[in-house]
Structure 1
Amino acid sequence: MEGQDTVDPQESPYYHRVLTLPNVVSVARFCLIVPAVLAVLHIYDHPVRALVLVAVFSLTDWVDGVLARALNQRSRVGEVMDPIADRLGTMAIAVAAAAVGLFPWWVIIAIVVVDVVIGIAALRHRTFGVLRVTRVGKAKTALLMVGSVLVLAGPAWNSTEVTVSGRVLVQVAAVLHLVAGVQYFRQVTRRD
């Protein structure tokens, strides 16, 4: 990741392994997507369940990165799987939150458009899975996850203010997603 690594990740003895502790955490994140989405769709019946599942989903993103660095278990599988889990899970949760009226739809549209453009460009330039995460991209992901948790905490805590605060963070994250998208697009097109 940008600015954090002093050692080439490929020098890790785990780089070409599939089974690492961080990868197990990423697989757990994949497994949380469907239950989290279903819980968000039923948030008004069981608000605490939705909050807990989305919070755990968000926390696993931080945990797998910390474990990978602390244990020197960064792997190629993790480099590809982690962003896919993040994108798939955050998008599915965001769509579910929009469907129940907690997220503004423009946020979903902005994220989808940027991801589709980057995905097409990456496929065209054969760079899928080799993009380096930028600081703006990391900030966007953190704000989106924290904002999502706050949006869902509002119904769980019966607090409109918490939901509104979460919506603000989610909207800032959507703007940062556009900025990060430009950065990723430049990475993709420079690889020719």
Structure 2
Amino acid sequence: MAQHQDEVEPAESPYYDRVVTVPNVVSVVRFALIVPAVLAVLDIDERPVLALVLVAVFSLTDWVDGTLARALRQRSRVGEVMDPLADRLGTVAIAVAAGVVGLFPWWVLVVIAVVDVVVGIATLARGSLGALRVTTAGKAKTALLMVGTVLVLAGPAWSSPEVTDVGRVLVQIAAVLHALAGIQYFRQALRG
């Protein structure tokens, strides 16, 4: 559970207490993409290009909202909660769908789920929701997981098992980084 709007201090942002900001609209779009992306992944044998496009757009919106928050100086409390929530829900749902159709190793899903549940419980118990600061391991994990997932899905779309294999390697590296980042976020959550 990381957030991307940490480079602009709340006092510097007149948008901090606002709900409607450009980055938050992008996060809402990301939420809206979750169900169609999951359904497309589950139907990858019939429409592999659709699965690839929807997951790629979902992944891209993660970068876009953080970039816009910094560029427009629109860090907001709602964004601090909504952005990591959209990331976690979408990433886990897409990963589970990829696991169901045999594209993701199941151990990766177990690592992601266990880490997210433990960090989520610690965050809620300590009232740290939205207070976690992104770590280097968290950034690397997110980038590798998203790029790896897109490559895993690009394999069927491009009829290239080699591309899928490269994506699987990246996803497995991301799972290891996810565990490391999870330890860092767990410590942050306990500190409140």
- Name the TM-score class by shorter chain: over 0.9
Return the alpha-carbon distance in structure 1 between the equivalents of residues 123 and 11 of structure 2.
22
Mapped pair 1:12 → 2:10: no
Aligned equivalent of 2:154:
153
When the two structures are superposed, what TM-score results if normalisation uses the length of structure 1? 0.95
Q: CA RMSD in A?
A: 1.3
Q: Give the 4+ runs in structure 1 shifted more than 2 A.
A: none
Aligned equivalent of 1:111:
112
Mapped pair 1:21 → 2:22: yes
Matched residue type, 2:80: E
Return the alpha-carbon distance in structure 1 between the equivalents of residues 133 and 155 of structure 2.
34
Unaligned runs of 5+ in 2: none
Matched residue type, 1:128: L
Return the alpha-carbon distance in structure 2 between the equivalents of residues 119 and 84 of structure 1.
10
Return the alpha-carbon distance in structure 1 between the equivalents of residues 21 and 68 of structure 2.
10
Deviation of 1:130 (Å): 1.2
Q: Map 1:54-133 onto structure 2 (within 5 A).
A: 54-133=55-134
- Percent identical among aligned pairs is 75
Aligned equivalent of 1:35:
36
Deviation of 1:13 (Å): 0.7
Structure with the greater relative contact order (CA < 8 A, sep ≥ 6): 1 or 2? 2
Aligned equivalent of 2:165:
164
Deviation of 1:190 (Å): 2.5
Q: Map 1:173-188 onto structure 2 (within 5 A).
A: 173-188=174-189
Return the alpha-carbon distance in structure 1 between the equivalents of residues 123 and 45 of structure 2.
39
Deviation of 1:122 (Å): 1.6
Deviation of 1:129 (Å): 2.2
**Contact 2:104–2:168, Cα closer than 8 Å, also in 1:** yes
Matched residue type, 2:189: V
Deviation of 1:123 (Å): 2.2
Deviation of 1:124 (Å): 2.2
Number of corresponding residues: 189
Matched residue type, 1:150: L
Deviation of 1:126 (Å): 2.0
Aligned equivalent of 2:190:
189
**Contact 2:77–2:130, Cα closer than 8 Å, also in 1:** no
Return the alpha-carbon distance in structure 2 between the equivalents of residues 74 and 65 of structure 1.
9
Matched residue type, 1:88: L
**Contact 2:14–2:74, Cα closer than 8 Å, also in 1:** yes
When the two structures are superposed, what TM-score results if normalisation uses the length of structure 2? 0.95
Residues 95-144 of structure 1 show CA distances to partners (whole Å, capped at 9, x for unaligned) of 00000000001001001101111112122222222111111111101110
* Range 128-137 or range 61-70, more displaced: 128-137
